């Protein structure tokens, strides 16, 4: 479905035209009918016999109500630019056009109204005038219809034009997250709070949970209606009424947004801004503005790096006083605080705009790939990448799973995030190069820690850690006790290092080495890389540290074998029994048995140790 909107100067016959086309008077308020003037947005339903339909948003033409016009303007895709044939284009004809050029209008039809009040010559002149006035605007090449809402003349021709344009409009991104700016809120006795708006993109189904901005709470959709008809689900471009239980009328107002929870609220926005030519002299480096986004008017400040001197697109930041939910590439318009002069508008920079390349992939895949690249090493969840790519979370999830299967994305853990494979691979290539260089220079080292690698490569440790952990899982890196190495790497001690350790243990004989004395000896020895080599021996189990004592791995294996044999024989053993069994002193026996307890070999039971029957813990 699509939304058709009116625009044009006050009293030019917009509402009368809507009534003539649909039978519905868009002027809902008694005050409007009494004054014969539209004050706020009006709505109507246009339906053709073949089922083609559209929602109509009728706007006020009076400049005092421009804020209301702005609240309804963002939803329009097909514009009826209304010009009274007897008056010709007037200030708000131009102002409405200026606003709508920044928004989402795709097609325009120029409608000359009140044709019954002018002569043929005057009508021909009015057509010429209208054409001249829209030159260079979004209405430049628009078809033109002359109608009278009073006599009905020309209405059939206009209907045919509208029908043609509606059927030619592309459907509104169904795979995008739901985004509905609220334009009306009211309470209905027995039903609670009802809100209406134009569903700009995505789908809403009864029972959905949506996030309400700026309130920052979630709401459940109890019921849906499109122009008085109950629906189970609605798609983009529909005029929707939602029944929201548990929300007070006072908690929600025009300008609020109901959106898929994956879309986040933001208050600082990078924008591409194009000023109106006349507004250029009004711009300052920091310009206070009223920003119009969706149906909202939010006060904020537009900040330029370089203040524009011409009416060309420039990058800027829009700081909003209140956050709102935004979809990528959302359109906005800004006015001056006071007087409320229209300054210009543009789009809010999406995180990822897929390049329009010749790729044959579905647009959501290209958009997600672009979002992945933009997210860099930190990557993102399906929800976040989907939000950046303007793709619904579940669709984004499916696309990402396929990208992982195709090797184009990696799924990292803690926290879960998808990262572009080429981004991760670049890092991994650098990691492997760095490791290989280190392994060549100091082959006695067990490897490098993630922190060491992160510092050496100038990459944040959390991001790097998740990449190397993922590479370790699929075997592209080896890891042991927090050290990373190339998969084929086996550490090797230098002959001097090997000699040092051999001598130390040979000197000690059957006794274990005292750690403190050993460390001091290592320091004094002046053999290069000894502490790292020692670490490597500890990691490989060639040396085992038990409390303050150092054993050779082979010694521990021997003691363990004796202990297990004795326990199988005797079922249990005391500390004294163990001491005698291995012929050592109590000083070494106590920590050794505790070490075997911790290693899952033995278990303590009163004064005795018994064999642990449950499968041993991995720490052995």
Q: Using CB under 6 A, which of 23, 29, 31, 36 touches ligand GTP?
A: 36
Q: Which of 38, 314, 366, 497 binds ligand GTP (CB under 6 A)?
A: 38
In the list 5, 13, 72, 397, the residue contacting ligand GTP (rule: CB under 6 A) is 13
CB nearer Mg ion, residue 15 or residue 260: 15
Sheet holding 573-574, edge to edge: 573-574, 608-611, 602-605
- Residue position matching structure tokens 């572009």: 420
Using DSSP bridges, classify how beta strands 265-275 and 342-348 pair: parallel, antiparallel or unpaired: antiparallel
Q: What's the CA gap between 74 and 56, in Å, rounded?
A: 13
Q: Which C-beta is closer to Mg ion: that of 38 or that of 295?
A: 38
Distance between CA atoms of 394 and 371, rounded to whole angstroms? Answer: 16
Positions in 484-513 near ligand GTP (CB under 6 A)? none
Report whether 338 contacts 282 (CB < 8 A): no
Place of tokens 């010709």: 88
Among 1, 2, 4, 15, binds Mg ion (CB under 5 A): 15
Footprint of ligand GTP on 98-117 (CB under 6 A):
113-114, 116-117
DSSP string of 150-179, one letter each residue: TT-TTHHHHHHHHHHHHHHSPPP-TTSPPE
Positions 62 through 81 that interact with ligand GTP (CB under 6 A): 62
- Does 14 bind Mg ion (CB under 5 A)? Our answer is yes
The DSSP-derived string for 293-357 is ETTEEEEEEEEESS--SSSS-EEEEEEEEEEEE--TT-EEEEEESSS--EEEEEEEPPS------
Residues 65 and 73: beta-carbon distance below 8 Å: no
Q: Which does 497 bind (CB under 5 to 8 A by kind): ligand GTP, Mg ion, none?
A: none
Least separation in angstroms between residue 38's CB and Mg ion is: 3
Residue closer to ligand GTP (CB basis): 93 or 351: 93
Least CB distance to ligand GTP at residue 422 (A): 55
**From 8, 12, 13, 38, residue interacting with Mg ion (rule: CB under 5 A):** 38
**Residue 93 contacts which entry, ligand GTP, Mg ion, none (Cβ below 5-8 A, type-dependent):** none
CB of 136 to ligand GTP, least distance (A): 24
Nearer to ligand GTP, 111 or 396 (CB): 111
- The secondary structure of residue 409, as a DSSP letter, is E
Q: Among candidates 296, 293, 277, which has minimal Cα distance to 343?
A: 277
Pull the structure tokens for residue 542.
């060639």
| Residue 6 beta carbon to Mg ion: minimum distance, rounded to whole angstroms | 8
Backbone angles phi, psi at 168, to 5 degrees: -85, -15
Q: Terminal CA-to-CA distance of the chain, rounded, Å?
A: 67
153 vs 499, which CB is nearer to ligand GTP?
A: 153
Distances from the Cα of 598 to the Cα of 483, 551, 552, 553, 580, angstroms:
23, 16, 18, 16, 21
Cβ of residue 62: shortest distance to Mg ion, in angstroms? 9
Strands (E), 386-452: 409-412, 417-420
Q: How many CA atoms lie within 13 A of 267 on its CB side?
A: 11
Does 149 participate in binding Mg ion (rule CB under 5 A)?
Answer: no
Choose which of 1, 7, 16, 318 interacts with ligand GTP (CB under 6 A): 16
Quickly count: other Cβ atoms within 10 Å of residue 568's Cβ.
9
CB 37 to Mg ion: min, Å: 7
Query: Are 209 and 220 a contacting pair, CB within 8 Å?
Result: yes
Query: Which residues touch 581 (CB under 8 Å, ≥6 apart)?
Result: 562, 563, 566, 573
Q: Which is nearer to Mg ion, 16 or 424 (CB)?
A: 16
Asked whether position 88 contacts ligand GTP by CB under 6 A, the answer is no
Rounded-to-integer distance, Cα 533 and Cα 245, Å: 68
Among 5, 7, 12, 595, binds ligand GTP (CB under 6 A): 12
Q: Which is nearer to ligand GTP, 68 or 260 (CB)?
A: 68
Judged by beta carbon, residue 139 or residue 389, the one nearer ligand GTP is: 139
Considering only residues 194 to 253 of the shown chain, the ones binding ligand GTP according to CB under 6 A are none
Residue placing its CB nearer to Mg ion in the complex, 26 or 345: 26
Strand 192-198 and strand 179-188: the pairing is: antiparallel
The entry of Mg ion, ligand GTP, none near residue 347 (CB within 5 to 8 angstroms by kind) is none
How far apart, in Å, are the Cα atoms of 575 and each of 584, 612, 616? Answer: 11, 16, 21
- Residue 87 in tokens: 């008056």
Q: Which is nearer to ligand GTP, 12 or 172 (CB)?
A: 12
225-31-57-216 Cα dihedral, nearest 10 degrees: -60
Work out how close the CB of 159 gets to ligand GTP at its nearest, in angstroms, rounded to a whole number.
Answer: 15
Is 590:576 a contact under the CB 8 Å cutoff?
no
What is the C-alpha separation between 138 and 155, in angstroms, rounded? 23
Contact characters 123-162, ligand GTP, x per CB under 6 A: -------------------------xxx------------
| Residue placing its CB nearer to Mg ion in the complex, 100 or 399 | 100
Asked if the peptide bond before residue 415 counts as cis, ω within 30 degrees of 0, the response is yes
- The stretch among 30-38, 144-152, 510-518, 598-606 that binds Mg ion (CB under 5 A) is 30-38
- Please give the residue whose beta carbon sits closest to ligand GTP in the complex: 61
Contact of residue 478 among Mg ion, ligand GTP, none (CB under 5-8 Å per partner type):
none
Query: What is the distance of C-alpha 414 from the center of its chain?
Result: 18
Give how many residues touch ligand GTP by CB under 6 A. Answer: 20
Closer of 151 and 309 to ligand GTP (Cβ): 151
Parallel/antiparallel/unpaired status of strands 192-198 and 239-244: antiparallel
Closest to ligand GTP by CB, 147 vs 244, is: 147
Q: Candidates 7-15, 269-277, 462-470, 494-502 — which segment interacts with ligand GTP by CB under 6 A? A: 7-15
Minimum CB separation of residue 57 from ligand GTP in Å reads 12
Q: In angstroms, give the least distance from the CB of 145 to ligand GTP.
A: 12
Q: Which residues bind Mg ion (CB under 5 A)?
A: 14-15, 38
Q: Which residues bind ligand GTP (CB under 6 A)?
A: 10-16, 36-38, 60-62, 113-114, 116-117, 148-150
């Amino acid at each position: 479905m699509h939304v058709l909107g009116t625009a044009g100067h006050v009293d030019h016959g917009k509402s009368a035209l809507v009534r003539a086309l649909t039978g519905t008077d868009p002027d809902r308020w008694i005050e409007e009918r009494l004054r014969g003037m539209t004050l706020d947005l009006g709505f109507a339903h246009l339906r053709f016999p073949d089922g083609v339909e559209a929602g109509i948003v009728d706007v006020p033409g009076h400049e005092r109500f421009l804020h209301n016009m702005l609240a309804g303007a963002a939803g329009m895709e097909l514009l009826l630019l209304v010009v009274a044939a007897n008056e010709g284009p007037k200030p708000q004809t131009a102002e409405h056009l200026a606003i709508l050029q920044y928004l989402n209008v795709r097609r325009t039809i120029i409608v000359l109204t009140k044709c019954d009040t002018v002569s043929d010559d005057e009508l021909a002149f009015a057509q010429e005038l209208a054409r001249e006035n829209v030159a260079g605007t979004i209405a430049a090449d628009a078809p033109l219809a002359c109608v009278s809402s009073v006599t009905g003349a020309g209405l059939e021709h206009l209907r045919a034009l509208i029908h043609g344009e509606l059927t030619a409009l592309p459907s509104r991104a169904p795979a995008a997250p739901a985004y509905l700016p609220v334009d009306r809120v009211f309470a209905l006795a027995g039903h609670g709070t009802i809100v209406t708006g134009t569903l700009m993109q995505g789908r809403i189904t009864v029972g959905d949970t949506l996030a309400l901005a700026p309130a920052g709470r979630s709401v459940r959709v109890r019921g849906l209606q499109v122009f008085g008809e109950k629906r189970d689900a609605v798609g983009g471009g529909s005029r929707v009424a939602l029944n929201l239980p548990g929300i007070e009328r006072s908690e929600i107002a025009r300008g609020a947004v109901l959106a898929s929870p994956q879309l986040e609220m933001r208050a600082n926005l990078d924008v591409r801004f194009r000023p109106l030519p006349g507004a250029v002299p009004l711009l300052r480096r920091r310009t206070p503005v009223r920003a119009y986004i969706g149906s909202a008017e939010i006060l904020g400040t537009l900040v330029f790096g370089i203040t524009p001197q011409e009416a060309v697109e420039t990058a800027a930041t829009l700081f909003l006083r209140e956050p709102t939910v935004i979809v990528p590439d959302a359109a906005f318009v800004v006015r001056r605080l006071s007087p409320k002069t229209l300054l210009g508008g543009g789009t809010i920079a999406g995180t990822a705009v897929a390049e329009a390349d010749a790729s044959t992939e579905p647009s959501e895949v290209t958009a997600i790939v672009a979002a992945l690249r933009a997210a860099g090493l930190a990557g993102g969840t399906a929800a976040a990448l989907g939000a950046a790519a303007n793709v619904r979370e579940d669709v984004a999830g499916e696309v990402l799973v396929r990208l992982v299967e195709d090797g184009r994305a990696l799924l990292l853990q803690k926290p879960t995030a998808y990262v572009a494979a080429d981004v991760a691979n670049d890092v991994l290539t650098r990691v492997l190069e760095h490791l290989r260089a280190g392994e060549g220079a100091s082959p006695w080292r067990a490897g490098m820690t993630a922190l060491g690698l992160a510092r050496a490569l100038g990459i944040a440790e959390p991001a790097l850690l998740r990449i190397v952990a993922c590479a370790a899982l699929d075997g592209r890196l080896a890891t042991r006790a927090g050290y990373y190495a190339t998969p084929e790497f086996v550490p090797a001690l230098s002959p001097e290092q090997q000699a040092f350790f051999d001598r130390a243990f040979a000197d000690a004989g059957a006794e274990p080495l005292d750690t403190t004395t050993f460390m001091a000896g290592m320091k004094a020895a002046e053999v290069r890389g000894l502490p790292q080599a020692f670490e490597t021996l500890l990691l490989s189990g060639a040396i085992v540290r038990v409390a303050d004592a150092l054993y050779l791995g082979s010694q521990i294996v021997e003691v363990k074998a004796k202990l297990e044999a004795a326990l199988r024989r005797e079922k249990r053993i005391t500390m004294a029994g163990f001491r005698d069994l291995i012929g050592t002193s109590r000083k070494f026996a106590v920590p050794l048995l505790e070490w075997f307890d911790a290693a899952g070999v033995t278990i303590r039971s009163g004064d005795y140790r018994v064999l642990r029957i449950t499968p041993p813990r991995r720490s052995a």
